[in-house]
Amino acid sequence: MDLASAAKIATIVTPIVIAGGFGFAYRQWQSIRNTRMAEILVSLGKQWDSPEMQDSRCLVNQCGKNLKQEIKKADTENSPDLYRLVKVANFFDFLGGMVMAGYFDVRTAYDVFWRTEEHYYELYRLILDDPDYKDYIQCFQKLHQAFATEKAKRIKEKPRPSV
């Protein structure tokens, strides 16, 4: 084989090898990303089901429409209940931050949390809409907007035919 033939073969083989390397690297990246998201999901599930979070969710649900008044009262009185009243909002704020930063996929977050996020967003809405609290739990608001966008996308998608 002469040098010209070897150069032609190298010209053909090199892009194929490079493309194969990129394909392998992409599959590795996907695997790492999926593993990271699974770890985050397990961690969020543990946090969501923790006794402290269950207690906070119960308290927030008991307050219902009076949640804003209860939070203001607990804040004014420097009550330990303040932490329990905002723990659920802080959870969704943290989740929203993870989604907004790209550490956790919005589709996965929506699949797991959209119903509960919707429920608690409605309970916290008066706080979220209050100008006095506009700088608090901003990622919760962004998460709610991202979930609304995801929901709209899914409504527009045509259902898959059943077999």
Q: Which residues contact 94 (CB under 8 A, 6 or more apart)?
A: 139
Q: Please give the helix or strand (H or E) that residue 64 lies within, else none.
A: none
Cα–Cα distance measured from residue 129 to residue 32, given in angstroms and rounded to the nearest whole number: 38
Is there a single domain that holds both residue 59 and residue 133? yes
Q: Which residue among 19, 34, 49 closes a domain?
A: 49
Q: Are residues 44 and 54 in the same domain?
A: no
Would you state the structure tokens that stand for residue 113, as one six-digit string?
């949390």
Q: Pick the residue with more confidence: 16 or 58?
A: 58
Same domain, 63 and 18: no
Residue 6 in this model has a pLDDT that exceeds 80? no
> For residue 144, is it within any domain?
yes
Mean pLDDT across the stretch 64-75? 92
- pLDDT of the residue at 37: 79
Number of compact structural domains in the chain: 2
Let me know if residue 125 belongs to a domain: yes
User: Quick one: pLDDT at residue 163?
Assistant: 56
Query: Can you give the residue range of the structural domain that contains 67?
Result: 50-155
DSSP secondary structure letter of residue 90: H
State whether 18 and 30 are in the same domain: yes
pLDDT band at 25; cut points 50, 70, 90:
confident
User: Residue 158: which pLDDT band, with cuts at 50, 70 and 90?
Assistant: low
| Overall residue count recorded for the chain in this entry | 163
Confirm whether 163 is domain-assigned: no
To the question of pTM greater than 0.85 for the whole model, the response is no
Instruction: Give per-residue pLDDT as tens, 75-125.
Output: 999 998 999 999 999 999 999 999 999 888 899 999 999 999 999 999 999
Of 20-29, 59-68, 74-83, the range with the lowest mean pLDDT is 20-29
The candidate with the shortest Cα–Cα distance to 109, out of 39, 36, 41, is 41
CA within 13 Å, CB half, 13: 6
Answer yes or no: do 76 and 19 share one domain: no
